[in-house]
Structure 1
C-alpha cells in the first residue's frame, strides 16, 4: 500500500503524542513492505527527505507567524499536496484544523481514515466561539471521513451517539520499560524515589497549576519535575513565573530522549497525571509502561484506563495529601498491574497490527464506506 499520514508536525518526534505514534507506526509499515509518507512542518528540526525508510514531506507551516490560524494553512498545504500522489490510504491524526478542507481530500482516489482524538471543544483554553467552531469541525470530520478511529471506548460511544457513526477502537500504545538505569538521575541531581513529577502540555485542562499549588500547600521540599515545553505559550510562561519563588519546582522543558524520560518516570515517587479532557492519553500509557506510581485527575477518561491501579485527586487539597502520604515503595503491586496492562493491551506491536489490519480491511472494501 501507498500510505500517507497527515495531522502531525512531522517525525522524528519533537512535539507530542501524535508525532510519537506517527514515528513508530510509519517505521512499522515500512518494515512490512509498504510505501509510507509522513507530512511535517517546513521548519522541523530534522530536514532530511527520509527517516528510517519513511518518506518525509515538509510543507510550509506559518504557525510561528500567525499562531493557530497558521495551522489551517499548513493543513491546506498538506492536503493539496496529497491530491497529486495517488495514495491508497490517507490517515488523518486529529481534525482540529484540517476538517475545513474536507472537500479538497482526494476521496475518489484515496481511503480517508481519521483518528478523532479527544473532545477538543471541551478544552477550557478556547473561548466560546472557538469551541463552537471545534464542534463544527468535529462534525465535518466525522461525516466526511470514510472510516473513523476512536482511541478510547468513551470516544467510540460518543461518535455513535452523536453522529450515528461506527468507529474502530484502537488505543494509543507504549513500549514496556524494564531496563532502569539509576545513574541517569545524576544528570538531574536527583535521588531514587526522592522527587515527584508531572508531564503535560501547558493547557489549563491538564491541571498543572492544581498539582503545583498542591506541592506548595504540602510544604514539602522534595523536587517536582515539570516536563513540557513551558516557553511556547502564554500559559506556560505564566506558570513558570508564578512558581519561580519555589526552588523545588523545576521546569525541565520538553524531554524527548526516551531513555532519560523513562528513567525519570520509573524512579519518581509520584507521577501526577492531570489531564481531564480527551481519550486514551499517550503520556498516561507511557507512565504506566515506565512503572510509575500514578496519581491521576479524577475523571472517567483516566479511570477507564487506570481503574483501581492509581490514586485520584480533584483539587489542590487532595494533591497535597497525596504528596505527604504516598510512597512508591508501598505500592509496587499497583505499579506492576499497570505495567502488565500495557504488555497485554496497549503495547505498540498490538496497536500497529490493529491499524494495519484496519487498513487492509478498508482496502478490500474500497467502495463500501461506513
Structure 2
C-alpha cells in the first residue's frame, strides 16, 4: 500500500517556538513520520530552527514578512507556502492548521491534493479585533469551509457551529497531550520556588484569555503565594497589565517553550488558572490536566466539555479571589479530580490516539479525492 505524502501548512513552523498549532504540527509530523508517511512542514524563514530536516521530517522555509509589516505579513507567508506546495504535484494531502490568513488563497489549492482544514476556534469573536477585522475573519471562516475537502473541528461546540451555520460536516479531533510522569522539583530552583507555594497562569496575554480578571482576583486575595504569569508580556497589552498590577507577588516570566520546565511548573503549582474563553479544545488545558494541575478554568462550555467536574471554575475576579484564598492542591478532596483528569488524557486525548485519528482522516480524504478525479 502506498504511503501518503502530507504537507502541513498554517503554522510558524517546528519545533514549536510559538503556540498550540505549532505544537500540534510537531506531534503530527513526528507521528506521521513513524507511520511511514513522507512529511513536509512549512516554516517561517525567520524560525530559529534553520535545518532542512527535523526528526525525518522535511522542513521548507518560506519568506515571512510579518517582522516587517505586521499581521499582513501572515497572508504573504501563507501565500508563499501555498505557491510552493502547488509545485509539488506528488503531495497527497494538504493539512492546513487554521484558516485566518490562508483561506483567501484557498482556490489556489484546487486539484492539488486533498485539502483538510482544522477550523480552530471562532476567531471573529476575539475581543482584540475591531469590527472591520471581525467581519473579515467571518468571511475568511466562510472561505475556509468553502475551499476545504474536509474539515476538522477540535471541539464538539465548533463541530455543531459549523453544521448550524454552514451545513458543513466536520470530523471531531481534539488536541492531544501525554501524561507527565517525570516530575523533578529541582527545576523549581532556578525560579526560587518550593512545591505548591505558587499559583500559575500560562496563556497568550490577550483580553479573551481572562488575564485581567485573574490578576484582579489575585490583587484582592489574602494569599502570600506568588502568581507566575507565563506568556509574552512585551506587548502593549502586556505593558498595560504590568502597569496596572505592579505587585511583587505577581511574577511575569515571559514565554517559556521548554515542555519539561512547563510540565514541572504546572505539576508543582497550587492553582493553575485557565482563562481561555474563545476556541475549542485548548492545548494548554489538556497539558494542565496531564501535568496533575488543580485547574481553575473560565466557566464556559468549551472548557466544561473537556474538564467536566474535575476542576474549579470562575466567572469574575471575586471567584478568583475566593479560589486563591480557600483552596490548596494538597487537600485530599482534590485527589480524585486530579486522577480523573489523568485518566481522561490517557483514554481520550493521548497524542498517539489523536495522530491515529488524523492519519485515518488523511487516508480517507486522499481516497475520496483520488476517486473524484478519476
Tell me the TM-score normalised to structure 2 length.
0.96
Aligned to 2:103: 99
8 Å CA contact 2:113–2:366 kept in 1: the answer is no
Partner deviation per Cα, 1:22-58 (whole Å, 9 max, x = no partner) = 0111011111111111001110001011111111111
The corresponding residue for 2:366 is: 363
Residue 88 (structure 1) aligns with: 92
TM-align CA RMSD: 1.0
Alpha-carbon distance in structure 2 between the residues aligned to 1:209 and 1:155: 26
- The equivalent residue for 2:51 is 48
Please report how far the alpha carbon of residue 221 of structure 1 lies from its aligned counterpart in structure 2 after TM superposition.
Answer: 2.0
- Pairs aligned (count): 366
Distance 1:10 1:329 in 2: 39
How far did residue 187 of structure 1 move? 1.4
Give unmatched runs, 5+ long, in structure 2: none
Please give the residue correspondences for 1:325-364 in structure 2 after superposition, counting only pairs within 5 Å.
325-330=326-331, 331-364=334-367
Matched, 1:200 2:203: yes
Who is 2:63 aligned against?
A: 60
CA distances 1:110-166 after superposition (whole Å, capped 9, x unpaired): 100000000000000000010011000000001110000000011001101110110
The structural deviation recorded for 1:364 is 1.8
Partner of 1:162: 165
What is the rounded CA distance, in whole Å, between the counterparts of 2:63 and 2:112 in structure 1? 24
Which residue does 2:284 correspond to in 1? 283
SS in 1 for 2:220: helix
In structure 1, C-alpha distance between the alignment counterparts of 2:364 and 2:97, rounded to whole Å: 19
Could you say which residue in structure 1 is the equivalent of 2:141? 138
Distance 1:334 1:136 in 2: 41
How much has 1:367 moved relative to structure 2? 4.9
* CA distance in 1 between partners of 2:18 and 2:289 (Å): 20
Structure 1-normalised TM-score? 0.97
Match of 1:73 in 2: 76
**How many angstroms does 1:242 deviate by?**
2.6
Alignment map for 1:1-370 (pairs within 5 Å): 1-86=4-89, 87-105=91-109, 107-231=110-234, 233-243=235-245, 245-330=246-331, 331-367=334-370
Change (3 A) 1:208 1:368: farther
Secondary structure of the corresponding residue to residue 180 of structure 1: coil
- Output the CA distance in 1 between the equivalents of 2:159 and 2:248: 43
CA distance in 2, matches of 1:360, 1:115: 16
Offset at 1:362? 1.4
State the SS of the aligned residue for 1:83: helix
Structure 1 CA distance for aligned equivalents of residues 34 and 347 of structure 2:
23
Q: CA deviation at 1:240?
A: 2.5
Name the SS of the counterpart of 1:328 in structure 2.
Answer: coil
